[in-house]
Structure 1
Amino acid sequence: MELRLSNSSYNCLLWLCIFALCAIIGMHPVASIEVYTPAEVFVENGTAGVLKCTFKSNQVISSQASVSWSFIPETSSDSTGETIFHYAGGKGFPDSAQFKSRVEWAGDLNKKDGSIRINMMQFNDNGTYSCDVKNPPDIAGKPSQAKLRVVKKESLPQTSPAVIVGAVIGAIIGVIIIAVVAYLLIRVMRSTRDYEGCTSIESVSTQAAQPGKKAESSTDGSRSSSPSAPVQGPVIYAQLDHSGSKNSFHKMEPVVYADIRKN
């Protein structure tokens, strides 16, 4: 028995397949890797320079991950450049006569680092370097570019590691000095306040004690200057005998009453 489909049925089946494919692609969108490099790098002539390249991927780093570096000379008008180094499968492959004996791998894909090192930098190494990272299925990212400047030692920018370390050490020493000075000032201010407090208390106590002495002396003076009460001696009274005896005529018995007033 032979099964034949009409044109209309065939078209419907075709559209169903297209919709299913679109749905599958929509459920699993193509990943996009992000690559980062510094905008500008300065290296002293005759020394080794590291070109940093890091990336961000939503996928686990696979064994098929790779890094490619390309170079566009400063005087070239080419927008693509030539590949100078390729890293894949745990091995590096220099791919340029200019850098073949001087370029080497300096990154770690497990740490999402695709950097390279170029030894014995020369002035003709000036140009634009591009880093391109692939981590299947995360392959849709764009390369990142960095401009390299090979200069003399005196022309290096002041943001070298030695300058940064010196600035950090100077800042720490400055903070320590400020803390010590602040501590000494606080100690001096506290000592001054304590001294002024003791002086004020002593003056107040002295002033409080002086009126008391004056009052006491005035009291003593008033006591000594006030006239004392008159002291009266014994008073003698004559008592007459009014009895009818003969012997009582003009008989007098003196009675002495002592009236002594105390002060």
Structure 2
Amino acid sequence: MEIRLPIFTHNYVLLCVSAVFVYASVFGVSAIDVYTPTEVLVENGTTATLSCSFKSREVISSLASVVWSFLPEGETGQPTSFFYYSGGKPFQGSLPQFKSRVEWAGDMNKKDVSIRVIQMQFKDNGTFSCDVKNPPDISGQVSIIKVRVVMKEALPQTSMAVIVGGVIGAVIGIIIIAVVTYLIIRRQEPSHEYEGCTSLESVSSQNTRVGKKAESSNDNSRCSSPSAPVQGPVIYAQLDHSGSKNSFHKMEPVVYADIRKN
């Protein structure tokens, strides 16, 4: 892999690389895993975030480093480095195509080494490579991203019909849930039906006293309303109006049970 760096950082890079290999030779070498998405679609003229993360069995140290490289679409050979991160600081590469257009967007402590590329252009179509070293984890495969810069119309867009259908489906679902809940609550409510009275025997004792069986038109009847007032038995006396002075005859009282309903 070809690395092109500004002259003023050359000595610093050599020092870091030397330190990495010395550390690896002393403490041994182990593998490191690097992960990136397979393909990214980017709208022309927008900022793209190129995600990259890694997994290391070692504690992240100040010797950890990241190198981003680029190989234009249709070309073969080794990619050219255009950005790197080392010693806790980001550095721009010497590739003119990405000069002042790349920003560090990662967090080494979270094993995130992503970058942002400003104002993506059609000439940025190609393969971007992410390479991470965390001594003694320096052995591992470089992860690559296939980047395609396209016009806005070519980006996948959610159909308006799908959105409307989703909203309608959600509303119908809410209505069904509300109706079912209401029916369940109604079914669990206690019944308030009034049973009423079943029989009327309040005049039996008076019938026994006067020797005549009481007459009741609503005996063994049921009351239909809990608020209907119930009138007690009414006693009527029958008189003899034949005209004689001693014509008053004691008549046997007749007892009626008057039950009224509303």
TM range (shorter): 0.5 to 0.7
Say which of 223, 242, 257 aligns to 2:213: 223
Spell out the pairing of 1:13-162 with structure 2 (5 A cutoff).
30-78=29-77, 80-89=78-87, 90-158=89-157
Give the aligned residue type for 2:122. Answer: F
- Summarize deviations over 1:162-194 as a string: whole Å, max 9, x none: xxxx9xxx7xx959x73x864564345434664
Contact 2:129 2:142 in 1 (8 A): yes
- Summarize the Cα distance change of 1:93–1:189 in structure 2 as closer, same or farther, 3 Å threshold: closer
Contact 2:83 2:90 in 1 (8 A): no
- Summarize deviations over 1:71-128 as a string: whole Å, max 9, x none: 12122133x3211212222231323111123122222222212111111101111111
Deviation at 1:140? 0.4
Return the alpha-carbon distance in structure 2 between the equivalents of residues 224 and 56 of structure 1.
Answer: 102
SS across alignment from 1:98: helix
Contact 1:94 1:103 in 2 (8 A): no
State the Cα RMSD in Å.
3.7
SS across alignment from 2:192: helix
For these two proteins, the number of residue pairs brought into alignment is 176
Return the alpha-carbon distance in structure 2 between the equivalents of residues 118 and 145 of structure 1.
Answer: 15
Question: Structure 1: any 5+ residue segments left out of the alignment?
Answer: 1-27, 160-165, 226-263
Say which of 192, 213, 219 aligns to 1:198: 192
Return the alpha-carbon distance in structure 1 between the equivalents of residues 54 and 189 of structure 2.
Answer: 64
Contact 2:49 2:115 in 1 (8 A): yes
- Summarize deviations over 1:10-55 as a string: whole Å, max 9, x none: xxxxxxxxxxxxxxxxxx7631011111111121110111111111
Spell out the pairing of 1:173-212 with structure 2 (5 A cutoff).
174=170, 178=174, 182=177, 185-191=180-186, 194=189, 197-199=191-193, 202=194, 205-206=195-196, 209=198, 212=199
Give the aligned residue type for 1:190. Answer: I
Contact 2:101 2:118 in 1 (8 A): yes
Structure with the largest fraction of helix: 1
Return the alpha-carbon distance in structure 2 between the equivalents of residues 83 and 137 of structure 1.
Answer: 22
Return the alpha-carbon distance in structure 2 between the equivalents of residues 224 and 70 of structure 1.
Answer: 114
The higher radius of gyration belongs to 1
Return the alpha-carbon distance in structure 2 between the equivalents of residues 145 and 91 of structure 1.
Answer: 20
Spell out the pairing of 1:243-262 with structure 2 (5 A cutoff).
none
Bigger shift: residues 184-193 or 50-59 = 184-193
Return the alpha-carbon distance in structure 2 between the equivalents of residues 194 and 106 of structure 1.
Answer: 60
Question: What TM-score results when the alignment is normalised by the length of structure 1?
Answer: 0.55
Return the alpha-carbon distance in structure 1 between the equivalents of residues 97 and 47 of structure 2.
Answer: 15
Contact 2:30 2:138 in 1 (8 A): yes
Give the % identical residues.
48
SS across alignment from 2:145: strand
